[in-house]
Structure 1
């Protein structure tokens, strides 16, 4: 697959997968929190691996990240990244936790974000697996607060070499008019992208 050859149609297909995942995640979060949660996917795009940290504010920006390894027929890596401002806003608006301005998270904040991240990762992965009819399952997710570049480097150390492109899914949480933005990155291993697109009925070049 040559990424420059991807048409709008291909990204529309992937955006639909993202929207389905967001719907599943919103339902799960609403049940967990016992309050209405809406989620939207305003954009989906493919970005080169080296641009991932730039997409979240730069390699030195401190972020919160959930990351895991995807195993099965289309192995790869998945990251859900929030700025610390967004993480605190999410905790305050969705979970009702009053957060301090310190960079470190306390145990309750860490636990709440881990649970939200697990739900999101599972929802997106399940929707992609259902949509493609491919076997995909996550490893146990990890949560880290660090500079974006350091988190991606740690992911490389943990999971080995990653593919050179990532599927970027913009995610907006909406609750009572408040909006929180997060970023999903699915980084399939090099051979996995062709399998995903083939399963979606999109011819690879």
Structure 2
């Protein structure tokens, strides 16, 4: 039986996604630690299958400003990945990388966006590499589109693009700790159903 949407995933499928998320988050923390030259600890990520409205609420409401990096996934696994940075995470990164204090997102210029894009590339690649290695599939991601916008506007992009596929999103919430500070980021993964079937089959799971 083919997947119709993410609601067809059973507990075993969800456990696999959680394991992929755990590995991806761990890899992301290691990469971030190397980039920032400081220890980065990560809590066990929270991974859920949520509808778009619930995701918006989980991101602080439709008017909450976020840094968004949107990637297109290609090759064996197709779909979309969105890496989101809350202000506290963006502030921690920019303060460490550039030595600047972030009072509001109005202070973010081209140099700051470039630094955040580089971090997003590294973080997104951590999740892609986890899927690719575990499922033995070829995966690539595009150069990200970066923007600072409200959560409601950011989520309208995948909602429109995947309207005929699913109204659900794989939602990964990460909590990082560095120098006694906590910061959060979110990863939204929206694979097409054929790609999701490939992942599960390659991992030996029945559909």
Q: TM-score range, shorter-chain basis?
A: 0.7 to 0.9
Q: Distance in 2 between matches of 1:190 and 1:71?
A: 14
Equivalence map 1:1-205=2 (5 Å): 1=3, 3-4=6-7, 6-92=9-95, 96-154=99-157, 160-161=161-162, 163-164=165-166, 165-204=168-207
The number of equivalent residue pairs is 202
RMSD: 2.4
8 Å CA contact 2:25, 2:45 repeated in 1: no
The alpha carbon displacement at 1:118 in A equals: 0.8
Show structure 2 runs of 5+ residues with no match: none
The alpha carbon displacement at 1:75 in A equals: 0.4
The alpha carbon displacement at 1:78 in A equals: 0.2
Per-residue Cα deviation, 1:134-183 (whole angstroms, up to 9, x for no partner): 111101112110112222334567xx436422111111212123211111
Show structure 1 runs of 5+ residues with no match: none
TM (norm. structure 1) is 0.85
Q: Distance in 2 between matches of 1:96 and 1:104?
A: 13
**Relative to structure 2, which stretch is displaced further, 120-129 or 77-86?**
77-86
In structure 2, relative to structure 1, the CA distance for the partners of 1:95 and 1:199 (3 Å cut) is farther
8 Å CA contact 2:52, 2:155 repeated in 1: no
8 Å CA contact 2:75, 2:139 repeated in 1: yes
Tell me the secondary structure at the aligned position of residue 173 of structure 1.
strand
8 Å CA contact 1:41, 1:169 repeated in 2: no
Tell me the secondary structure at the aligned position of residue 194 of structure 1.
helix
Per-residue Cα deviation, 1:60-88 (whole angstroms, up to 9, x for no partner): 22211111100011200000112234422
Tell me the secondary structure at the aligned position of residue 162 of structure 2.
coil
TM (norm. structure 2) is 0.85
8 Å CA contact 2:66, 2:84 repeated in 1: yes
Q: Distance in 1 between matches of 2:130 and 2:60?
A: 28
In structure 2, relative to structure 1, the CA distance for the partners of 1:22 and 1:102 (3 Å cut) is closer
